[in-house]
Structure 1
């Protein structure tokens, strides 16, 4: 059990879990579009996500990281070679996969990269100082959700349309809206958990502004809204069932673990795992259906 616990933390600390989540969400888009998964696009999504999250870590590196009061910061910069090894492998895979995608997809990926860098780069003026989007009050989770929608939904759509595959626009719009709300649901608990840490870094996140309990209520409200929209979405019944089962699981995680105690810092990362699990639930629901 001790080995599994250490492995879990390593996957979290090295950003491998969030990279797998990005790949899973991208692959899920192809299932909802009812098209074959393009593993070059999925691999681009995973490696680019890993590189961007690692860059964000490096960009926000404190002056004395090994003396930080946050365990993740201490671990990362005590094992910095792992981050650079991951970056090297990710760059090689990314470079290989970029040769196999359409030029317009490549250009759109550049747009996503610029949009992602706005998260931390001090390009905006706020209260007489230059800040990134993460420092603008309340903007953090909406920016993260927008980047994920662009990368995990719009990027596959761009690639498909440029190879002559037609996608129903209502399916695309529904997926963009549902994905945006789903990412808010999975991001809010992190900001609720990190209220004190964000205050330390002078970040005015939505939970900082609303208060802890109202932010928790908002998470449940968004989960209920997501369920309603899934039922109304122009998807097959099996896809709807898969998405709704994931929502039930997330509700249980929030109620029984994530929002139940503050003692276990890592519980919120179960929601990153749910991004991966959502793909597998929908995939299995479709593959093992009687009509498959």
Structure 2
């Protein structure tokens, strides 16, 4: 939870164990989240019995790494309420390394895209997702003494997150394989992925409840309360569980639905006072579990 009176940075802190240092680096540098994006896209390819292209997988991984770390290194972020969570402390202590990682990831992603002719037809579609992703955190206007981005528009950020993640991990694989984006099967896959990511986004809104109140960002927990937001997340997961694509095997159907139960438990027990690992490792980890479940069912 972000504190109104964060602990002074000069206070001595006990040294972290080696495994904790590695885990923090993987989680807070967005490597874990980028693996989740890669896994969800791969799971969509496996729906059609196709393993993901190595170049496309590397592009999605590095592009996700670039965009999420860009949010951490933007200069206007330095003046915002810093907080005293493990994640905030790690980001403040490693901003130079994050900047280097962001630049390298962006350069690799650009190089992969420019040297893969098969991706050129996706330029227009991918372009609008890139614009939304950049504007999501980019300061667009100054109001009431602080910079506002697209994510600060009332109640919008959870839908932006769900749309971009669903489009990247469902529509891009479909278009890459020559499938029509609006075909019934593709739309079912998109809808269930949208609902899963929406539930994940609700949990992170619960994490940011106090910070969003302090900064004036209107979110579902701030408007409806935390408990009502949990019920919205559970409703989204229930709808996703119903939307099993027709024609899949029993094992594949179980692999698609079972991780939703884990996400339901994560949603129900979410509190802003939970440790950072609850969100960075467990909540984002549900998306990794989704890929592993599908891979075990149909991908080997």
Fold agreement, TM-score > 0.5: yes
Please report how far the alpha carbon of residue 107 of structure 1 lies from its aligned counterpart in structure 2 after TM superposition: 3.6
Match for residue 243 of structure 1?
256
Runs of 4+ in 1 over 6 A off after TM superposition: 124-127, 165-168
Please report how far the alpha carbon of residue 126 of structure 1 lies from its aligned counterpart in structure 2 after TM superposition: 8.8
Compute the TM-score of the two structures, normalised by the length of structure 2: 0.83
Match for residue 208 of structure 1?
222
Match for residue 228 of structure 1?
242
Distance in 1 separating the partners of 2:215 and 2:195: 26
Distance in 1 separating the partners of 2:223 and 2:232: 12
SS of equivalent residue, structure 1 residue 83: helix
SS of equivalent residue, structure 1 residue 30: helix
What runs of 5+ residues in structure 1 fail to find an aligned partner?
A: none
Please report how far the alpha carbon of residue 36 of structure 1 lies from its aligned counterpart in structure 2 after TM superposition: 3.0
Distance in 2 separating the partners of 1:208 and 1:39: 42
Task: Verify: 1:266 aligned to 2:283, yes or no.
Answer: no
Contact 2:171 2:181 survives alignment (8 Å): no
- Cα deviations by residue, 1:105-155 (Å, 9 ceiling, x for unpaired): 23432221111122123447999x984221111101000111111211112
Residue-pair matches, total: 280
Match for residue 62 of structure 1?
78
Distance in 1 separating the partners of 2:199 and 2:167: 17
Pick aligned residue for 1:141 from 158, 177, 180:
158
Contact 1:105 1:158 survives alignment (8 Å): yes
Match for residue 45 of structure 1?
60
Distance in 2 separating the partners of 1:166 and 1:134: 30
Distance in 2 separating the partners of 1:85 and 1:5: 22
What runs of 5+ residues in structure 2 fail to find an aligned partner?
A: 1-15
Match for residue 193 of structure 1?
207
Counterparts in 2 of 1:234 and 1:58: CA distance versus 1, 3 Å = farther
Please report how far the alpha carbon of residue 188 of structure 1 lies from its aligned counterpart in structure 2 after TM superposition: 0.8
Counterparts in 2 of 1:95 and 1:132: CA distance versus 1, 3 Å = closer
Contact 1:239 1:286 survives alignment (8 Å): yes
- Cα deviations by residue, 1:232-275 (Å, 9 ceiling, x for unpaired): 645333221101121122233345xx427824232122111111
Distance in 1 separating the partners of 2:19 and 2:266: 20
Distance in 2 separating the partners of 1:174 and 1:64: 40
Please report how far the alpha carbon of residue 166 of structure 1 lies from its aligned counterpart in structure 2 after TM superposition: 7.1
- Cα deviations by residue, 1:11-35 (Å, 9 ceiling, x for unpaired): 1211111111111111111011332
